Amino acid sequence: MDKSLQTQTKLKSSSRPSLWRGIVENQWFLLLIVVFIISLITGYVNPRYFMQQNLFNILEQISVLGLVAAGATILIISGNFDISVGSMIGLSACIMSILINQGLNEFLVGVIGVLVCVVCSTLNGVLSVAFRTPSFIISLAMTGVYHGIALAITEGVIQTIYGKFEFIASTRLFGFFPLLFFISILGYLFVHFILKYTQIGRRIFAIGNNPRAAFLAGISVPLNTILFFFLNGILVGMASVLILSRLGAALPSTGAGLELRAIGAVVIGGVPITGGRGNVLGTFLGVLLMGVISNSLNMMRVNPYFQEVAYGLLIIFAVAISSIRYRWLGSK
């Protein structure tokens, strides 16, 4: 009898740590709680927050960042970075604006815009592999190159397209759901499929965990690294199409700052900056949290300059939580 009681006590005590372990392992659960709390507070201060128009406005606002962050998820898990994506988007948007004003077919212009980003991102990967230099350094250098090209072809003048490309931004599926956000969801699903169900995904995690071990296992680290940058370019190119449709104009600085916000969203979503693990669901929730915070600050009429402060503090907090979380899990 005593033995059975002891066994039951052990089972109960062991179930508690496993419950906490499950919560801690799933950072997305914590992000959902934070999004929920912020939404409740904002809705209490300003009831208009929960209006359908505002909620769909949040989804529309995070669409471009979502695609960039989805691409960054692939790179960061693999142990790479591309901080030139903002300049890539600016260059792509400027080229598309010029071509639209010259009367080129809008669908063809969109394809060209995506290809520009694919070429730029793939070039970053090739240079990183060829010179055996960290992708962070290469992309930092290429930021100036892409921005300079955009300045040269536009002469620093804003390129307006006068509503010729706004059908993507203005379209509502079923009369209410933003097409922009639907395209962003397709980007998330694309990355999720790659990470979970393909050989490419397994190589992303293997190289991110230990490039040397991946090489010894027969994985071509250089070729796969270039492939990861190629995939990133597709998603960044889609983002450039969406941002041009939404803004209706382009400047070389059109995508400025998106690279850091994307990296921040990925880190907030639970992907360690060292790579090797993570998922795109966390990235989506990280992007959503950043969108909710931005909208909440606007709703509460906080000085917009403080949004950047809020983003910075949020990223620091996320890095701290991530560090504590993996340290705690590692000690178990």
Confidence at residue 26, expressed as pLDDT on a 0 to 100 scale? 63
Q: Is residue 135 part of a domain?
A: yes
Pick from 226, 232, 228, 230: nearest CA to 187: 232
Q: Is residue 8 part of a domain?
A: no
Helical pair 258-268 and 305-330, crossing angle rounded to 10 deg? 30
Confidence at residue 9, expressed as pLDDT on a 0 to 100 scale? 44
Which residues make Cβ contacts (< 8 Å) with residue 296, sequence separation at least 6? 38, 39, 41, 42, 49
8 Å CB contact between 71 and 184: no
> How far is the C-alpha of 125 from the C-alpha of 122, rounded, in Å?
5
Please return the burial class of 303, using the count of CB atoms within 10 Å of its CB with bins 0-12, 13-18 and 19+. Answer: exposed
Find the mean pLDDT for residues 279-292: 94
pTM comes to: 0.90
Confidence at residue 166, expressed as pLDDT on a 0 to 100 scale? 87
Find the mean pLDDT for residues 261-272: 91
Q: Is residue 251 part of a domain?
A: yes
Number of residues written out for the chain: 332
Asked whether the predicted pLDDT for residue 171 surpasses 50, the reply is yes
The 10s digit of each residue's pLDDT in 65-87 is 999 999 999 999 999 999 999 99
Q: Which of 60-64, 111-115, 224-228, 307-311 has the lowest mean pLDDT?
A: 307-311
Range of the domain at 315: 72-326
Confidence at residue 11, expressed as pLDDT on a 0 to 100 scale? 40
Q: Is residue 240 part of a domain?
A: yes
Find the mean pLDDT for residues 124-131: 97
The structure tokens listed for 277 are 């693990």
The 10s digit of each residue's pLDDT in 15-69 is 445 555 555 556 777 888 989 999 999 999 999 999 999 999 999 999 999 999 9
Asked whether the predicted pLDDT for residue 330 surpasses 70, the reply is no
DSSP 177: E
Confidence at residue 318, expressed as pLDDT on a 0 to 100 scale? 76
User: What string of DSSP letters covers 304-328?
Assistant: THHHHHHHHHHHHHHHHHHHHHHHH
Q: Is residue 331 part of a domain?
A: no
Asked whether the predicted pLDDT for residue 1 surpasses 50, the reply is no
Find the mean pLDDT for residues 105-128: 97
Please return the burial class of 68, using the count of CB atoms within 10 Å of its CB with bins 0-12, 13-18 and 19+. Answer: buried
The 10s digit of each residue's pLDDT in 174-216 is 888 999 999 999 999 999 999 999 999 999 999 999 999 999 9
Q: Is residue 51 part of a domain?
A: no
8 Å CB contact between 295 and 62: no
> How far is the C-alpha of 54 from the C-alpha of 101, rounded, in Å?
32
Total of domains in the chain: 1
Q: Is residue 179 part of a domain?
A: yes
pLDDT above 90 covers what percent of the chain?
73
pLDDT above 70 covers what percent of the chain?
90
Asked whether the predicted pLDDT for residue 253 surpasses 50, the reply is yes
317 vs 211, more confident? 211
Confidence of residue 315 (pLDDT cuts 50, 70, 90): confident
Q: Is residue 117 part of a domain?
A: yes
> How far is the C-alpha of 164 from the C-alpha of 160, rounded, in Å?
9
User: What string of DSSP letters covers 196-256?
Assistant: HHSHHHHHHHHHHH-HHHHHHTT--HHHHHHHHHHHHHHHHHHHHHHHHHHHSEE-TTTTT
